[in-house]
């Protein structure tokens, strides 16, 4: 097997890495790069090197870097009002919430709780489930919902949980099968499960979609047993998969989830998240049940509303479908023996590898000026900005093919 490329180096990069090591909490890994600026799908490090960004901050920078819509919205709002606390509201929050309700299709019973991150949105969802009075929450093996204690409890990754055990009680992790879900819902005579929490695509597991038909079956079973269906759209929302939210590929207006959690791409890089509910789930929180000092602040929600408006105006959902198909077919057409499959939807793509060398491929790509991610030892994750064009895809394929070739065992 070839040697892994040496770490990216440079006078300012090395100096800043040393400073980082002295001040950053040790839970943070050494930075692969120290980035200074960006434009579109390109970023630059402190030593002036350019990189083609096909990760977009892990599906966050939906409009790429320094998009004029974000710059204008942030500048305009910062000059007017940045924060007011949750004793008050602003036109920006109300418009943002209205847009989320409309795009989700949740209708007149739709309600929004605004948070600052995906993990906070999941925490709100867990508290919502507790308010049903039922003791059990069902989640799935390999799922990832965040690292705060409630979010970690529903995350199906024992290695992440074990240093912080015991976890919040009442959470069970299932195999992703209809049989496992049906049996768990029926256990204890039925009626004991508060909620089922799932991702349409398990991003941190290597971009692994749910089995075909599973989401619709989960909706049927949760409805039958009176449990909430909560869909984690943190990585799959904001048009990333070619629909506004991942559940919309399978669930129609008569089968909507009871709640979704959103973050990442909805803010285009600004920290913002939300829990969106419908129907009876919208009545579970009452005054004083939950809150956030910064949640719903006008700067974050004003920018997020502008980002979602631009995705809608520019029809980036269609672009995600078109560019995603171009990427999938192009990767398979490379004919590399290392590539075993291409998974995902739209511009959330997982590339299965025949060998556990994902980190090696990612390191080689970085030295060629391409940013991608090793989601697992044998999976590459792509989540480029939604604004990429056909030329960008061709450029990616050239760089990626070279990295695959260089990483052959």
Catalytic residues, by residue number, are 144, 232, 264
Q: Where are the alpha helices (DSSP H) in 80-176?
A: 91-104, 118-130, 149-154, 158-161
Of the candidates 306, 319, 299, 328, which has an alpha carbon nearest to the alpha carbon of residue 397?
328
- Cβ–Cβ under 8 Å, residues 168 and 153: yes
User: How many other β-carbons are positioned within 10 Å of the β-carbon of residue 328?
Assistant: 19
Query: How many CA atoms within 13 Å lie on the side-chain side of 38?
Result: 22
Is residue 148 within a helix (H) or strand (E), and if so which, with residue range? none
Contact 53, 373 (CB under 8 A): no
Written as one string, the DSSP assignment of 311-369 is HHHTTHHHHHHHHHHHHHHHHHHT--TTEEEEEEETTEEEEEESSS-HHHHHHHHHHTT
Give every CB contact of residue 284 below 8 A, 6+ residues apart in sequence.
128, 131, 132, 277
What gap in Å lies between CA 215 and CA 194, rounded to an integer? 17
| Cα 315 off chain centre by | 20
Which letter, b or e, does each residue of 38-55 get, where b requires 16 or more Cβ atoms within 10 Å of its Cβ? bebbbbbbbbeeebbbbb
Phi and psi (nearest 5°) for 243? Answer: -125, 165
**Helices 298-313 & 68-78, crossing angle to 10 degrees?**
150
Furthest CA-CA distance within the chain: 65
Q: How far apart are CA 3 and CA 85, in angstroms?
A: 53
Rounded CA-CA distance 139/153 in Å is: 9
């Amino acid at each position: 097997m070839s040697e892994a490329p040496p770490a990216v180096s440079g006078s300012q990069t090395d100096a800043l890495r040393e400073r980082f090591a002295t001040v950053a909490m040790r839970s943070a890994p050494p930075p692969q790069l120290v980035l200074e600026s960006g434009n579109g799908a390109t970023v630059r490090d402190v030593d002036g090197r350019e990189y083609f960004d096909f990760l977009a901050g892990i599906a966050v920078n939906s409009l790429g870097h320094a998009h004029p819509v974000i710059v204008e919205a942030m500048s305009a709002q910062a000059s007017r009002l940045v924060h007011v606390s949750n004793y008050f509201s602003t036109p920006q929050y109300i418009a943002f919430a209205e847009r989320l309700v409309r795009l989700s299709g949740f209708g007149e019973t739709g309600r929004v709780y605004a948070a600052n991150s995906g993990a906070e949105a999941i925490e709100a969802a867990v508290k919502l489930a507790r308010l049903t009075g039922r003791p059990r929450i069902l989640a799935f093996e390999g799922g990832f919902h965040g690292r705060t204690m409630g979010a970690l409890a529903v995350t199906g990754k024992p290695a992440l949980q074990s240093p912080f055990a015991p976890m919040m009680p009442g959470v069970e992790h299932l195999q992703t099968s209809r049989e496992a879900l049906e049996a768990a819902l029926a256990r204890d005579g039925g009626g004991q499960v508060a909620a089922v929490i799932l991702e349409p695509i398990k991003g941190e597991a290597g971009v692994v979609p749910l089995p075909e038909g599973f989401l619709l079956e989960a909706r049927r079973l949760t409805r039958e047993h009176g449990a909430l269906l909560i869909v984690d759209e943190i990585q799959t929302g904001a048009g990333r998969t070619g629909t506004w939210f991942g559940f919309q590929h399978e669930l129609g207006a008569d089968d909507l989830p009871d709640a979704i959690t959103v973050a990442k791409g909805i803010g285009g890089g600004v920290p913002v998240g939300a829990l969106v509910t419908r129907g009876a789930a919208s009545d579970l929180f009452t005054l004083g049940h939950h809150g956030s000092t910064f949640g719903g602040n006008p700067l974050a929600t004003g920018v997020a509303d502008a980002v979602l408006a631009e995705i809608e105006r520019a029809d980036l959902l269609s672009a995600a479908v078109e560019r995603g198909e171009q990427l999938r077919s192009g990767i398979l057409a490379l004919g590399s023996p290392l590539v075993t499959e291409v998974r995902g939807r739209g511009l959330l793509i997982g590339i299965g590898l025949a060998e556990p060398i994902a980190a090696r491929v990612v390191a080689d790509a970085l030295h060629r000026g391409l940013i991608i991610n090793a989601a697992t030892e044998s999976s590459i994750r792509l989540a480029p900005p939604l604004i990429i064009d056909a030329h960008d895809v061709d450029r990616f394929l050239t760089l990626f093919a070279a990295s695959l070739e260089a990483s052959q065992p």
